[in-house]
Structure 1
């Protein structure tokens, strides 16, 4: 489909302040010490003892600091942190929510669980001192990309095997789909997750790899109401993998590969390096 696709006229203007506030919150998130831009490593753990430190033989390798900071012991479904100095403690992974964070000077690490594979994710909290965040570019705001879609139940629900950038597969049960028409074409989007707070989509389109990030973008919406869901593509945003090689982002399922360009939301991140 041509990039000159004509969109239906928007029924209302996007509130400028609301969008500016959303954009500012996004900037603040990416500029913060805990930003994805501060990740410095992703180290897949092995069962048993995993050494942490700056020594060459450390599995979780720090760029500086003590040669041997401690050991991560993965055994019987648990991960224990045994620092060289101090008491041992059990670390919670991110599978049940917020992971336990271990802080060491400007470094921190925590354990992520990806379908039973565990990894220590390392973060440099002082990253912005060396390379301050300059911001993300956006397509122009266009109220025509605020689309009211039908929220249709799938009977029976379907199960998708969704890959991430590390090659792992995650089974996702999908019970609904968002359906709308654009330029005479019927479009269906499958959600990756549905909760009482929001609905989460992963999609790619004809801008992917050109104006926008190649592996697609994320979109969160408010929950559906009365059989309708509002898809505001002006709020489409880059996944963590657009900012770091140490994230494990889900990839868009083939059903969410749109055949037209979505000229709305965040554009490709350019680090300036």
Structure 2
């Protein structure tokens, strides 16, 4: 298990140190219906840090996002609603559309971000096998609808049909999943370390799908959400149901930006 954890930590480091890291985000720009200018000119909807005053326009209408460059062919951009978004490259910059409850934003990324401030790594709580918990995976009948806020203040309604139920120090608690697929179950939670030793807005946790009514929660792999690293993310916040009444000294600690 220790080797698995070290491999997971190494993958986390590679993800955050790479050119597509959350640390490389340089902007988040909300589009309005119709034409949205892209360039370095003041007043551009998508403001580039450099380059031409007007690189092109993004057209958002009828649920479609079209890229209309001043030089080159126009093309439709896919958002991240069903997978990887379409990326537009310009010099060391890249931008792409994201869909947030039928609102469209453009994320801008600097792929050369690490040249000025390379990623120095993450801090972790010591590995503790006690935080590898086998929880009951209980069906909710009827399922519940839960409003999940994000850091931008938007609400997303999540349909929840199961809950993880487990015991810590004689106290029975539950966690409600934010998303369930045939590959993984995704949770967002807070605990008594949040805002002190770990990130204040909570942490993420992924688990393999339940087997025979049980799900394994390995809090040693609890990790910081993207909004711990950039103001240009739109992370879900843990609902009150997932505020654990005890400390979980496992997984990633709070990340502190160098300098």
The TM-score with structure 2 as length reference comes to: 0.99
The Cα offsets for residues 12-55 of structure 1, whole Å up to 9 and x where unpaired, read as xxx22111111000100000100000000000001111000101
Which residue in the other structure is 2:180 paired with? 194
Misfit runs of 4+, over 2 Å: none
SS of residue matched to 1:268: coil
Which residue in the other structure is 1:162 paired with? 148
Which residue in the other structure is 2:118 paired with? 132
SS of residue matched to 1:109: strand
Structure 1 residue runs of 5 or longer lacking an equivalent are 1-14
Q: Tell me the distance in 2 between the aligned counterparts of 1:113 and 1:227.
A: 34
2:40 corresponds to 1:54: yes
2:203 aligns with one of 214, 217, 224: 217
Q: Tell me the distance in 2 between the aligned counterparts of 1:186 and 1:21.
A: 31
- Equivalences for 1:109-258 in 2 at 5 Å? 109-258=95-244
In the TM superposition, what is the alpha-carbon distance from 1:165 to its structure 2 partner?
Answer: 0.4
Structure 2 residue runs of 5 or longer lacking an equivalent are none
SS of residue matched to 1:255: helix
SS of residue matched to 1:96: coil
SS of residue matched to 2:144: strand
SS of residue matched to 1:94: coil
- Equivalences for 1:8-19 in 2 at 5 Å? 15-19=1-5
Q: Tell me the distance in 2 between the aligned counterparts of 1:142 and 1:131.
A: 32
Q: Tell me the distance in 2 between the aligned counterparts of 1:64 and 1:161.
A: 39
- Matched residue count: 259
Q: Tell me the distance in 2 between the aligned counterparts of 1:98 and 1:133.
A: 24
In the TM superposition, what is the alpha-carbon distance from 1:57 to its structure 2 partner?
Answer: 1.8
Q: Tell me the distance in 1 between the aligned counterparts of 2:82 and 2:52.
A: 31
CA RMSD of aligned residues (A): 0.6
